[in-house]
Chains A and B, each alone.
Chain A
Amino acid sequence: MQSVVVTVTSGKGGVGKTTCSANIGCALALLQKKVVVIDGDIGLRNLDIVMGLENRIVYDSVDYIEGRCRLRQALIRDKRAPDLYVMPTAQTRDKTAVSAEQMVAMCDELRKDYEYIIIDSPAGIEQGFHTCLAPADRVLIVTNPEVSSVRDADRVIGLVEAQEKGPAQILINRLMAARVKKQEMLSMDDIVDVLSTELIGAVPEDEAILMSTNRGTPVALNGRGPAATAFHEIALRLTGEEVPLRVQQPVSIFHRLFGKA
């Protein structure tokens, strides 16, 4: 099976890597792709709760790697999409529990059955990042439109190139169109210009994200709203479709009041 390993990472923490990984995974699965999303942040398990699957974990990736279970047993099937699986990580271990070679071997097994393997990687330059980078065919670097995360993104873009995993692509998260318009916030073009790196997409700030995380239902599963639309467009771009880059406008008050189902 033709399969692609996409590692989602960032320089700075807290920019929305897990939200982006979960939603891109859901959006790809809704495009009828066979998808597995791996939580690569060993010791800081989070993908499961963001996706609302925390009560279904029996085994995790470390159990599989250390031979306590079979691959299928460590995968949680997400029934909300046709072919979507989540591989949780161990909560009580540290980054040294999985080596880069083991991660590559696990992904090679998964490649036999899945078209897209999305790895939610830890931020920055620690060992866990290198483990998640090792199997990558593509690397997405999440940044917010704000100076410190853009600066740290530049550092990681360099590291990805040094590991010959480049060129990485940037994913701008939490962009506020209104503040960009008022020239209070770095724009999509500003960030692309400063980082001289290609963009995979820009996800607007969207109140729906917090609500969806509270519930454990990624916005991309329900399909509406500016962030959900942006994630679906990013998924399409990952499949090779040409979708013009644009900033999703926030939903108007009228729409918010009367447009809801």
Chain B
Amino acid sequence: MNALKQLFKGHDSPANTAKQRLRVVLIHDRTEIPAGMLELIKDDVISVISRRVPIDRANVTVHVDNAGNENRLLVDIPLLAGDNRRGASRTSIPRQRSS
């Protein structure tokens, strides 16, 4: 019964929302990297990488992950396939929304 409840509302329960928000805010508190700073880093990464290779700007993610006592900055940059490569269906690079 509880598992069923979990299935329907588990991840959106107020307790879970509180827990997830706490996780994120504690990572920023502990690393002293405010969340807004990550947005700036993301913009920097996009401009540097996109000068060399086509990337899917809209889906770039930057976040701090902590495993045990170690914190690391994780940057995920989806590449766009080039014209001569397989899967080259997209021809234009989606424009990054300004934030």
Contact = CB atoms under 8 A, between A and B. Distances in A.
Interface in A44-76: none
A154 B30 contact: yes
B35 to A, nearest CB: 13
Interface string B1-45: 000010001100111101101110110011000000000000000
Contacts of B26: 151, 154, 194-195
A147 B29 contact: no
Contacts of A150: 22
B19 A154 contact: no
Contact of B19 (A158, A184, A186): A186
Given A150-B22, A183-B9, A190 B15 contact: yes
Interface string A173-208: 000000010011111001001110000000000000
A194 B19 contact: yes
A207 B15 CA distance: 23
Contacts of A193: 19
Contacts of A194: 19, 22-23, 26
A184 B12 CA distance: 10
A206 B53 CA distance: 61
Interface of B: 5, 9-10, 13-16, 18-19, 21-23, 25-26, 29-30
8 contacts: A147-B25, A151-B25, A158-B30, A184-B14, A184-B15, A190-B15, A193-B19, A194-B19
